[in-house]
Amino acid sequence: MDDSDELRDPVEMLGEEFVQRLRSGEKPSINEYVAANPDHAEEIRSLFGTLMALEDLKSHHDEDRWQTPSGETSEEIPETIGDFRVLEMIGRGGMGVVYEAEQESLGRTVAIKVLIDHFSDSPQAVRRFRREAQAAARLQHPNIVAVFGVGQWERKHYYAMQYIAGRSLDRILAELNALRGTDSKGQDADDLGSATNVDDELAAEIAVALKQGRFEPSLAAKKVTAPPSVSKLSPTSPTVGAPSSPAAEVTSSALGETREVASVRLSRDYWRSVAGIGVQAANAMHYAHQQGVLHRDIKPGNLMLDNSGRAWLMDFGLAKLLDEADLTTPGDVVGTLRYMAPEQLEGRATTQTDIYSLGLTLYELLTLRPAFDRAEHYAALLKLKTSTTPPEPRSINPQIPADLQTIVLKAISPDPDHRYATAHEFEEDLQRYLDDVPIKARRTSSWEHLRRWCRRNPAMAALTTSTLLLLVISCFAAVFGYLRESHLRSSAETEKSRAEANLGLAAEAFDTIFRRISVQSPTRSLADSTNASELGETPTPRLSNNDVQILEGLLSFYDRFAEANGDSKRWQYESALAYRKVGEIQQRLGRAHRAQAAFERSIELLKQVPAIEVSSQTPPQLEMASIYQQLGDLAMAADQFDVAYQRFQEASEIIENGDAVWSETPEAQLQLAQAYSAMGKANIFGQVIPLSTTGAKVDADHARQLLSKSIEILERLVRDYPNTGDYRLELARSWEDYGGMMSFAANGRPSSDGVKQAIQLLEELVAEFPQEAEYRRALAWTYAHAAEFSSEELERDPLELLQTARELLVDMPPEYAEQPETREIAARISQHLAERKLDLRELDGLDELLEESQQTIIKLAEDFPYTKRYQFGLARNFYLQAIVAYERGDLNQASGDLEECIANCGLNSGGTIPAFLIHMAAKAQRGLKSIHTALGNNQRAEHAASEEAQLQRQLEQVELPLPPTPLTNDPWRIDRSALGETSSSKP
């Protein structure tokens, strides 16, 4: 270090290092420097915050310079990227380039975002890019741009997404200002979005339609003529706000004509159109929050409006997945500074942070100017002046409705506690404005209630003067009485609010602990899935007994707290949800009885909670229906089919008899379809699987009605929500169940029709969403099921299907690979492959296949001892091993395997023994008789013959079909026609 360095201020030197790290693409943490230099903490916080803001300003100007794709680029446009044929570049941002492309395998136009080559060598940049794609891909919502797939081609990292006919709101705002002939009172063009080039015909047309109120919700519902379509559409990246080169070649005279048409004042329909945009964006945002995704960069540039008036939320490049580790260091500032909430500068981001940013975006749409002057806003943020508020919108334009102003000001309150608690509440208030009913953001006076009622009911407003006077007097009397009563209750309400706040903190604490513990479980929902291996993360360990003990201890706390706060319906609701969560954990651990107890306690608490007293997105009744289905699943796993049927029926009746407000929602209808399907399966399994000595037969008509109702509901959901993959997944499962079980119940052999229908649906899903592990797993299972049919029935090669199924499971994310469902599918595939090879007399590789399946099933049977299908799987595995040894001439080994097969059939375990296990044991005894006869062990052969005869007598009492034999060349086959034969098999 030279003398000049020694004389320099150490904070200044640290600041230079901080800026260099920022410019190199790193995300250094201010807290990191504060911790390392505590003596200079105050100076570092003040200086580094300013440096970060200045760098943010510089990066925004740099990014704006790149927004117009017609500008020069240092990167050559590739002809192809993997399966995508590149048509043209349509946008470029700080880290990515967006191309219009054709996906050749599916023949569809997509937008493909490619990480700039410069960042491909940065592991952090690559991780962020993948996280952006994965965050968006887990969200399937009609107002969120869909991501189709993510991949790498040569050195290029990319992801493909939906191609939308629209423009980002920053461009629409620029056009709206051009329409009124102003540049927003001399402000920088950047103040109204990064896109400054307004020579864009599509943006002008959408702006005209918006200004004229053609997107007003009630008009849109009547399908009023949409703006003229254009030949080139904008894709769904926030960096593609600028038009593509061909679209930019619109003459200024044409644009002038478009703008002249719209030279009218902003009308009531415009304000309602803005509110409609807010409703759509808030709904999408709330859905994202429910799925555990914080956007953290809501702004006009990341919201698109298409030419039908639909709003699209896009660019999840800075999103945080709440159930995963963040890619930023605690304390890092993430987002676009001008749209940040005050707390975001401190590195704290919550769902209310997104609400604040959306509020600022709506503010700009209302006022056609930013909420804050850029310099003033940055200064306020850097000094953490949380009391800063923008001018009231009506002070800028008195035409703005007062209710819209109130809603927006509540959303952008500097104090998060004064904002809407959830995006759903934000959406509801905007919808209330559209419905012309009082909003909740402020207390509406009785006179306001009356005025609104009169406006909605003009005929009733024609009352006599005396009646109106009486109504006014009544209103004033009601207000006076209310104020007086409110004054008397103020102290009590304050105490009640404090108590409720304490309850909320306790519930939040439980949820936090639950998330930290339960995230270790390998079982995760579809919305939570991510490929941890691609991010360089290691899979989390499974739950331990200590973890469960912690949760159970918390439950006892919940019980005591609920008892002490018996009048709090909200706390009973929270307690019910807590019990359900612990029940799910117990279920994952294979503790069926404990899971059942937790679920039943949850239902008991939910029954005490009226729906109207719970502020929740999910009504208690729907929670109850879902828990009844979980109880049914537990009973099905234990082969208690009559109990399972009853539980599924209770779930369906709750929804069938529920209030239309919630029972007709897609979520409720999906649950109803699942309940019908489960009832149908329980009805059939309850007769096919257990040994029937009473001559009972399957009520096939009833089962068919239930499964048909499930398919009918799911087909309607798929029709109404074609982009929601989960509905198509459930439809595929229902078709597979319908074709397989109904045909088996009728003639003892499944039909391939339902399986082929399921395969078609699932193959389409996997092609559209190749990153979704749940869809790949479902297709693998269906392929394994399909392998039971002949190539003539399937019109496909079963062996190829099994090999493809095996490949689908190879790259399964670790948390999915460890789930019991995935492990069972892998074992089934190995068994089916072994059966096919046996039929072809190909003995090579059979030992490895059967060893794989055996080890997997043994572990499953240990983890879930109440699930008899695992016992059957193990018995089946030993039976196949016995055939392999028999074919090789190793009779002693074959004998030992058959003994193991019989032992795992559980004939002496007590209770009801499924018919398929008796059938398997009978075949094994026939094999033992044959082998011992060949070995000269006459006594053991006679014993085996006696056991076989006894088992066959039991099978003769079963009037239902016997399970089909998957092997064509099964040496010890027992069909219905073979019952009573005890000496037909020979070595």
Q: Is the pLDDT of residue 236 over 70?
A: no
CATH number at residue 405: 1.10.510.10
Q: Is the pLDDT of residue 473 over 60?
A: no
- Highest mean pLDDT: which of 389-398, 582-591, 938-947? 938-947
pLDDT bucket at 390, cuts 50 / 70 / 90: confident
Neighbours of 840 (CB within 10 A): 11
- Return the H-helix or E-strand segment holding 845: none
Q: Can you count the helices (H) and strands (E) in the chain?
A: 38, 11
Measured distance CA(69)–CA(89) in Å, rounded? 7
Was 113 annotated as part of a binding site?
Answer: yes
Check residue 5 and give its pLDDT: 43
- Confirm if 412 and 390 have CB atoms less than 8 A apart: yes
Check residue 555 and give its pLDDT: 58
**What's the predicted TM-score (pTM) here?**
0.48
140 - beta bridge partners? none
Q: Is the pLDDT of residue 361 over 90?
A: yes
Residue 410 lies in a domain: yes
pLDDT bucket at 489, cuts 50 / 70 / 90: low
Residue 312 lies in a domain: yes
Q: Is the pLDDT of residue 506 over 60?
A: no
Give tens-digit pLDDT for 26-53.
Answer: 667 787 777 778 877 777 776 776 666 6
Give tens-digit pLDDT for 242-283.
Answer: 333 333 333 344 445 444 444 446 778 899 999 999 999 999
Residue 191 lies in a domain: yes
Angle at 966 (CA atoms; ends 848, 862), nearest 5 degrees: 55
Token digits for 293?
């995704």
Are 262 and 397 contained in the same domain?
yes
pLDDT bucket at 71, cuts 50 / 70 / 90: very low
Measured distance CA(115)–CA(98) in Å, rounded? 9
Give tens-digit pLDDT for 299-350.
Answer: 998 999 988 889 999 888 788 877 654 444 444 455 677 788 888 766 778 8
Are 174 and 52 contained in the same domain?
no
Least confident of 440-449, 723-732, 839-848: 440-449
- Confirm if 633 and 586 have CB atoms less than 8 A apart: no
Measured distance CA(14)–CA(5) in Å, rounded? 12
pLDDT bucket at 721, cuts 50 / 70 / 90: confident
Token digits for 335?
């987002």
Measured distance CA(604)–CA(628) in Å, rounded? 11
Measured distance CA(732)–CA(903) in Å, rounded? 36
Measured distance CA(242)–CA(230) in Å, rounded? 15
pLDDT bucket at 703, cuts 50 / 70 / 90: confident
Least confident of 427-431, 453-457, 863-867: 453-457
- What is the average pLDDT across 833-841? 86
Check residue 240 and give its pLDDT: 37
Are 57 and 171 contained in the same domain?
no
Q: What percent of the chain has pLDDT over 90?
A: 22
350 is in which domain, residue-wise?
Answer: 166-435
- Return the H-helix or E-strand segment holding 318: none
- What is the average pLDDT across 547-572? 59
Q: What percent of the chain has pLDDT over 70?
A: 64
Least confident of 172-176, 478-482, 720-724, 865-869: 478-482
Check residue 278 and give its pLDDT: 96
Residue 2 Rama label (left phi>0; alpha psi -120 to 50; beta): beta
Residue 224 lies in a domain: yes
Are 40 and 185 contained in the same domain?
no
- Return the H-helix or E-strand segment holding 3: helix 3-7
Provide the residue type at 138 as one letter: R
Residue 128 lies in a domain: no
Token digits for 330?
């605690």
What would you report as the CA-atom Rg of the chain, rounded to the nearest whole angstrom?
33
Are 182 and 311 contained in the same domain?
yes
- What is the average pLDDT across 442-459? 50
Residue 268 lies in a domain: yes
Report which of 266, 308, 306, 295 is spatially closest to residue 356, judged by C-alpha positions: 295
Check residue 430 and give its pLDDT: 95
- Return the H-helix or E-strand segment holding 670: helix 666-688
- Highest mean pLDDT: which of 545-554, 820-829, 860-869? 820-829
Check residue 260 and give its pLDDT: 45
**Considering 435, 454, 475, which residue would you say is the last residue of a domain?**
435
Residue 346 lies in a domain: yes
Structural domain total, the chain: 3
- Return the H-helix or E-strand segment holding 128: helix 123-137
**Considering 400, 435, 470, which residue would you say is the last residue of a domain?**
435
- What is the average pLDDT across 385-408? 83
**Considering 410, 435, 460, which residue would you say is the last residue of a domain?**
435
Are 177 and 56 contained in the same domain?
no
* Averaged pLDDT score across all residues of the chain: 73
Check residue 107 and give its pLDDT: 86
Check residue 885 and give its pLDDT: 92
Check residue 524 and give its pLDDT: 30
Check residue 3 and give its pLDDT: 42
CATH number at residue 957: 1.25.40
- Confirm if 358 and 387 have CB atoms less than 8 A apart: no
Residue 852 lies in a domain: no
Helix axes 545-564, 465-518, angle to 10 degrees: 150
Look at 660 and 113; give whichever has higher pLDDT.
113
Are 50 and 177 contained in the same domain?
no
Largest CA distance in the chain: 113
Measured distance CA(514)–CA(521) in Å, rounded? 11
Are 310 and 418 contained in the same domain?
yes
Least confident of 197-206, 216-225, 527-536, 694-703: 527-536
Look at 586 and 456; give whichever has higher pLDDT.
586
Are 217 and 336 contained in the same domain?
yes
**Cα–Cα distance list, 561 to 501, 508, 554, 567 (Å):** 14, 14, 10, 11
pLDDT bucket at 500, cuts 50 / 70 / 90: low
Check residue 345 and give its pLDDT: 67
